[in-house]
Amino acid sequence: MPARPFRFISKLFKAGRPRDDRKNKLGRLEQTIGYYFKNVKLLETALSHLSYVNETGLSYNDSNERLEFLGDAVLDLVVSEYLYTRFRTASEGDLTRSKSSIVSRSALARKAARLKLEDYLVYSQESFPDLRRGWKTVISNSLEAIIGAIYLDGGLLAVKTFVYDKLLDSGKAELSFDSLQEAKNSLLHLSQINYHSQPSYRIVEVSGPEHAKKFVCEVMIKG
């Protein structure tokens, strides 16, 4: 019986020198992400799920978990600096919410899908049903691991370029702040501190046509 593709790939990784077809595939990914590794082993590690490492007998350090940890921190720094510089009058709350919308698991999973990382990630075929249920986490973690790998291979500037181009759509990503929600959060905070209660809201007037209604809302604190 011929060896399963998964087993065959594992031998390629153990050898330390990916066969030409795997090397070509990684080269296509480098072209997609816009970064070419000096140490391609970092890219291989970023694409190696822990289930793959456990099944093939490699060490924990051959999985992408440590790179994911590093990439998460580096991504947080790069996005924070970008938002701080771009939105010079935004409040801390605005910046925090905008950053969350960029680095959330769902947002990263969408970017990872756009980069087709699923085509390059290696994992245990036997664990696939379980992994599939948490696939957003798996694929978003792999993207963070790639960011960690880029940081180690090319430094912070290389990461900034990647994040700007691929995660922020070359600065064209739509980023908005909900000033009304920020005001409501501030009022809630002040109400809890000063009055030990929460504001209550009530719609008192509705006007205008069906497609463009206007609402007047009343807010009360302890009457």
Catalytic residue among 144, 205, 210, 218: 144
**CA–CA separation, 52 and 124 (whole Å):** 5
**CA–CA separation, 63 and 121 (whole Å):** 11
Asked about 72 being catalytic, the answer comes back as yes
The answer to whether residues 96 and 76 touch, using CB atoms and an 8 Å cutoff, is no
| CA distances in angstroms from 93 to 177, 184, 186, 199, listed in the order given | 9, 12, 10, 20
Helix (H) or strand (E) holding 31: helix 20-33
Catalytic residue among 62, 72, 94, 153: 72
Residue 199 CB: number of other CB atoms within 10 A? 15
Catalytic residues: 72, 144
